[in-house]
Structure 1
Amino acid sequence: MQYDPIKRSLGRVFNQTPALRKLFYRLLDLLLLRAWHVGEELKKLNLPETAHILDAGSGFGQYTYRMSRMFPKASILAVDVKEDQIADCNRFFGQIKRAGRVRFEEADLTRFVQPGKFSLIISIDVMEHIEEDVQVFRNFHQSLTEEGVLLISTPSDQGGSDVHDHDHEEGVHGFIDEHVRDGYNIREIEEKLKLAGFSRVEARYSYGKPGRLSWRLSMKYPIQLLGASKLFFVLLPFYYLIVFPLAALLNYRDVKSRHTTGTGLIVKAFK
């Protein structure tokens, strides 16, 4: 059973109206630990009021939507390789009257450069899919303003690229099969970013012990059950009513703790 088909199925359910889509984004922000970590880092930023932001690998548009709320006067360009998702996101942001300052475009990050344009670039669970990562880092560096910041969330090498769950049990396949590397070594990604021209890099582990337990409770187990039977969708609200308070506490502990190891990395790089 894989993660992406279930995510697409849920996306179709919540994509029927703008209100449902907003609810979907809110649920993702509450349940996904990486969204907690990214949100914590975004709150620390001191961006120009009318900053230009790049969401590099925007997917369903979850983080673009969040940043459009956090930075209400910023201009946001969101790029992805999936044409259908680009069209879908542009339609949604048009429906909620944010198309004037938020737009989605199809782009290949190995070739995408807009010199000196962006105060912030975020790349959330994207780099593990791209073989030519140093070239992408160079493009990011070139596309940032002099005071610009790059924020990355990606799996670490402390367990592989199984969406932060790394139980290699016999017969259990990863939720995502598209990763080109089994996570980054923390020193490796720091060195690659400096090779690309960044002057300072700060990297820390995420998904420590609290985060790994939370991910199993809030994501792995319900997704496995949905994969086994769509009937579980009816029971999902009752499951989360029981599980979410514990998962939220574990997420909070993961975000506020410094981990000596973890299956995820949060990386900030400064031009």
Structure 2
Amino acid sequence: MSRIAYDPVKDRFANIIRRFRFLRTAFYMILDLFFLRSWYVRAIMRKFGTILDQEGSWTLLDAGSGFGQYDRFLLQQFDHVKIKAIDVKDDYLEDSRAYFQKEIAEGRIEFKQKDLLDINYEREFNFAICIDVLEHIEEDVKVMTNIQQALKERGYFLMHSPSIYSEEDADGDASFVDEHARAGYGKEDIKEKLKTAGFKPLHVAYTYGDKGHMAWEMLIKYPMLWLNRIKLWALPVMAVYYVFTLPLGLSLMWLDLNEPNPQGTGIYALARKKDTPN
């Protein structure tokens, strides 16, 4: 299978969408529509974030904010949230600052360049998210520990990552991506790491089961390979392709979200900071 790295493709999109605000907005909408992990993250945040929002002002740490797509969702969904978004890529942060100028002025979000291995926040946040980031970091337990220390008592932590079943697409000489420090996590593996970091796992589940993985291949994997090979010339072909495949792909994603997956190429974990003994 042809190899492709995510980062060059993401950087190519970033160069295009940074020029026009409406393109970045459209890009956020595409990410939320096409990436099943976003469906899971938004579903979980609607459930637990709504509880926090009803109680008044609350704070969230976006650990590895990337393009800022989840920040946009959170700010639109919850009236009382204040976000600190951190990432190592300064160009991504600058693009986000330009896009979220109004929300920055209102004090609802700030962007900081930081390495997750070096953060030293202390009991500052009610919730933290780390979406498809930990698989890139060798010292993942250290990052989880840093995030745990950044949370207030009984604060929530939500992570998503490739699973151990993603090796076909995320490891080896014929890999689809090659920026990972590990192929992924299994349920028991991530539970043990969370416990070591000071969390109590609440729910761990696989994403991208058979149906979700089929949708990912149909809607993401093969179109990205086309883009990597023939660049922008692939766009007209993709437009026709999606007319026929999008309805089926979205239906498969809905089924993946609403049916339990015995295994899958993605995994999420929702955890809570352990109570500190008196």
- Cα distance, 1:258 vs structure 2: 0.6
- Cα distance, 1:143 vs structure 2: 0.9
Equivalent residue number for residue 40 of structure 1 = 43
Q: Which has more helix, going by share of residues?
A: 2
SS in 2 for 1:158: helix
- Cα distance, 1:73 vs structure 2: 2.5
Equivalent residue number for residue 254 of structure 2 = 252
Matched, 1:138 2:138: no
The amino acid across from 1:233 in the alignment is L
CA distance in 1, matches of 2:248, 2:12: 26
The amino acid across from 1:156 in the alignment is S
Equivalent residue number for residue 200 of structure 1 = 201
SS in 2 for 1:103: strand
The amino acid across from 2:134 in the alignment is M
The amino acid across from 1:200 in the alignment is P
SS in 2 for 1:201: strand
Mean alpha-carbon deviation: is it higher for 204-213 or for 82-91? 82-91
Matched, 1:157 2:157: no
Mean alpha-carbon deviation: is it higher for 104-113 or for 29-38? 104-113
Matched, 1:218 2:223: no
Equivalent residue number for residue 7 of structure 1 = 10
The CA deviation string for residues 13-70 of structure 1, in whole angstroms up to 9 with x for no partner, is 2332212111110011000011111111111112143211111001111111111111
- Cα distance, 1:113 vs structure 2: 2.4
The number of equivalent residue pairs is: 263
CA distance in 2, matches of 1:13, 1:86: 16
CA distance in 2, matches of 1:22, 1:143: 30
Matched, 1:243 2:265: no
CA distance in 2, matches of 1:200, 1:182: 21
Note the residue ranges of structure 1 that are not aligned, 5 or more in a row.
none
SS in 1 for 2:13: helix
- Cα distance, 1:74 vs structure 2: 1.1
Equivalent residue number for residue 21 of structure 2 = 18
Matched, 1:81 2:84: no
CA RMSD between the two structures: 1.6
Contact 1:161 1:181 in 2 (8 A): no
Q: Which stretches of structure 1, 4 residues or more, deviate above 3 A after TM superposition?
A: none
Note the residue ranges of structure 2 that are not aligned, 5 or more in a row.
274-278
- Cα distance, 1:227 vs structure 2: 1.2
C-alpha distance 161-139 of structure 1, shift in aligned 2 (>3 A): farther
CA distance in 1, matches of 2:168, 2:135: 8
- Cα distance, 1:122 vs structure 2: 0.4
Contact 1:161 1:183 in 2 (8 A): no
- Cα distance, 1:192 vs structure 2: 1.0
* 1:233 maps to which of 224, 232, 235: 235
- Cα distance, 1:93 vs structure 2: 0.8
CA distance in 1, matches of 2:39, 2:77: 14
The within-5 A match list for 1:62-141 is 62-94=69-101, 97-99=102-104, 100-141=107-148
SS in 2 for 1:84: helix
CA distance in 2, matches of 1:161, 1:54: 32
C-alpha distance 59-47 of structure 1, shift in aligned 2 (>3 A): same
Contact 2:168 2:175 in 1 (8 A): no
Normalised by the length of structure 1, the TM-score is: 0.92
The amino acid across from 1:242 in the alignment is F
CA distance in 1, matches of 2:169, 2:96: 26
CA distance in 2, matches of 1:37, 1:162: 20
